[in-house]
Chains A and B, each alone.
Chain A
Amino acid sequence: MKKAKKWPEAWHEVNVGAMVFEPCSAREYHTGSWRARRPVWDNTRCIRCGLCYIYCPEGCVSQNALGYFEADLNYCKGCGICAHECWPTAIAMVEEA
């Protein structure tokens, strides 16, 4: 079976004008691979104010069933804005292994 291609691998496989015809295909591009540090929530300090959710420029922070917040690590670039904005200091930026 032919291996499914994630990207056009050869130059002649690139779409004309690099146009993208599939809506929302940027979702397949996991920018989380850029990350050097990841946000880790300490839910004993979290007051569930949602500032991390509001400030995340990537829109990758979401609220879970218990009302606490977590980042989708497929897309979190580790910018640290959530940790910077979190005034109860519930978020720590931890070096990726």
Chain B
Amino acid sequence: MAKRVGMEVAIAVAEAVGMCNVDVAAVYPITPQSHIAEHLSDIVADGRTDTEYVTVESEHSAISVVIGASGTGARTYTATSSQGLMLMHEILPIVSAMRLPICMAVANRAVSGPLNILNDHSDIMPQRDAGWIVMFTENGQEAIDLSIQSFKIAEDPEVMLPVAVNIDGFQLTHMVEPVEFPDQKAVSRFIPARKPYAMLHPDTPVTMGAFAMSDIYHEMMMVKDEVLKNSKKTILKVWDEWAKTFGRRYKPVETYRADDAEVLLVTMGSMGETAEVAIDELRKKKVSVGLVKIRLWRPFPFDEFRHVVRKAKLLIVTDRAVSFGGPGGPVHAEIKAALYHDKHRPAVHDYIIGLGGRDVRVSDFVTMVERAIKDRRKSAVKDYEFYGVRE
């Protein structure tokens, strides 16, 4: 059993990445990701890992540097947040189309404007369709574990796709939590050196990222979709191996007291733990409620999700981002799409919560659940609402 240590989560993520034999890292600091950038550069400067740390002038350059490095066969890492991720946006679909297994941490932060540095998911949601594997973490231990796993998933020959690990800014990145690090030898065994499919090398000429017109582009996009959907098999395999090696099991959709629940609260990211406390309180009041936590956002685990909600009558979805002028939040839209063909569709109520770092307390989750149940009794389920907005 590894020793538990108290550590800030962003520092712990950098420590975890430092164990992964990364060849090239290019990380441009941005709040609240900066501690990952700073601490990883410390680890490199101290000679604790043989990594080329490229200091770049922007996030656009950071992702571009790791594209080039990944093309030469290197194991690569970057991390960003908010405006930095928005600046990377142009490059993200290229990474997945080129099948480069770049791993990235996103310290989720609200996007401007107005300028805000605190946590929500409005930075990752605009990247939803970039063709990346996208996962969410709930606590520091998960941030460590998923950061390590991401290299194994990304570099698997069946996958060869980039992975974004989402770690809620401040609410997770700046928390000091008890975490345990796996043994370095076990990590090295778990993620052996990358075996690239092809390498940019003068001896083996290859063109990566070539021009493609309408006669082939359409087919390429189908490949991208199929490969991303297919990656779920490898993700499950890697999580299974992780459970056997390190004892912690991960699932695409996690549940808490959900088996017999008529009402299910749905969260994604760090708020899951707060919601768990709310579920306990509501259970004490004899409310038949449970929690569903989405870990894997892309590829979306449709089957797993349908399975866990199959007996529910009401789903209370929480979204940390808004699809303006659309169906409320993106998680809500996804869930409704997942359930459209089901005969016994539950009612779905979407709450938009915690934008720009607005605190969401246990009592807020309790209120959300109680109010949604009341609305449903009156057949007044709203599509979505901004929870707690001042009126």
Contact = CB atoms under 8 A, between A and B. Distances in A.
Contacts of B380: none
B212 A18 contact: yes
A11 to B, nearest CB: 4
Contacts of B207: 19-21
Which of A8, A16, A21, A26 is packed against the most chain B CB atoms within 10 Å?
A16
Interface in A47-74: none
B219 interface: yes
Contacts of A23: 205
B206 A11 contact: no
Given A7-B215, A16-B99, A21 B220 contact: no
For chain A, give the interface size range.
10 to 19
A23 B207 CA distance: 8
A7 B207 CA distance: 16
Contacts of B215: 7
A10 interface: yes
B219 A17 contact: no
A17 B93 CA distance: 12
B12 interface: no
A74 B215 CA distance: 18
B99 A11 contact: no
Which of A14, A18, A20 is packed against the most chain B CB atoms within 10 Å?
A18
B223 A14 contact: yes
Contacts of B198: 16-17, 19, 21
B97 interface: yes
Contact of A18 (B100, B210, B222): B210
Given A16-B99, A19-B206, A11 B219 contact: yes
Interface string A18-59: 111101001000000000000000000000000000000000
Contact of A17 (B97, B205, B222): B97
A21 to B, nearest CB: 5
B74 interface: no
B223 A19 contact: no
B216 A20 contact: no
A11 B226 contact: yes
Nearest to A17: B99
Interface in B174-211: 197-198, 205-210
Interface in B53-110: 97-100
Interface of B: 97-100, 160, 197-198, 205-210, 212, 215-216, 219-220, 222-223, 226
Report the 3 A-B pairs with minimum CB-CB distance, sorted nearest first.
A17-B99, A20-B207, A11-B219
5 contacts: A11-B226, A16-B197, A17-B208, A18-B210, A21-B206
